[in-house]
Amino acid sequence: MTLRTLIVDDEPLARRRIRALLAEVADVEIVGECGDGAAAVAAIRAAAPDLVFLDIQMPEMDGFGVIEAVGVARMPAVVFVTAYDRYALAAFDVCAVDYVLKPFDTERFMRALDRARARTAPGALADMRASLLALLGHAESSRDATLALRVSGKIVTLQRSEIDWIEAAGNLVVVHAGGAVWRVHEALTALERRLHASRFRRIHRSTLVNLARVREIRPIPGGDGEIVLHDGTRLALSRRYRGALENELGAVG
């Protein structure tokens, strides 16, 4: 039986490495490659592959988002692809799903492929989907507490509660967390969507702030304002967001 396989990873080098490793296996047919989550969802629906090598850390829609969009009941067998991320690896181990780490070790990769091949059987596939469902529940609580960022080719995982504020800077976003600064190749709007479950709010077209870090709001004549954080940092507050922010902070108390 030919194992029809889809490769999903936002890094071209990672896709190339997976493709090269799969080329050594006689019963594998690569039916497509995707560099983002939205394209992966479309490809899974259209091609109905037997197996997906699925990157977890992708901007805008991550690997968990792909599973949610496709639906667990329609997912093929999955091998997750990840850089070292202790939160993700803990979730994989708890929920008994398979993964490979970047950079790929050939022997480990082939073992994962062999296990995935076994999981394409109807009964085994049902068990795999049950594991995916458990993983989504585990990941949801983890995602509420942590944020994975791609920094200089590596994955950095921060506790969301550690983040003070985030600003756009050209084609980067700069994340300020406890005196540390992380420069990330991601659009501010995409990062804002990933923070949907957290208490981060936009205060300017180029700035997000952690509400828990706000000490006071100072009005400025003309309708704008200034936010002062607990560490003394001062940030511009646009009149567009001032009213809603004052109401929310007042409601929070």
| Positions of the chain with pLDDT under 50 | 251-253
pLDDT at 94: 67
pLDDT at 253: 39
| Phi/psi at 144 (5° precision) | -65, -25
For CATH 2.40.50.1020, the residue range(s) in the chain are 163-252
The span from the CA of 179 to the CA of 189, in Å, is 23
CATH architecture observed for domain 163-252: Beta Barrel (2.40)
pLDDT at 252: 44
pLDDT at 197: 53
For CATH 3.40.50.2300, the residue range(s) in the chain are 3-146
DSSP string, 112-164: HHHHHHHTTSHHHHHHHHHHHHHHHHHHHHHHHHEEEEEETTEEEEEEGGG--
CATH classification of 3-146, choosing from 3.40.50.2300, 3.40.1190.20, 3.30.750.24, 3.40.30.10?
3.40.50.2300
Global confidence as pTM: 0.62
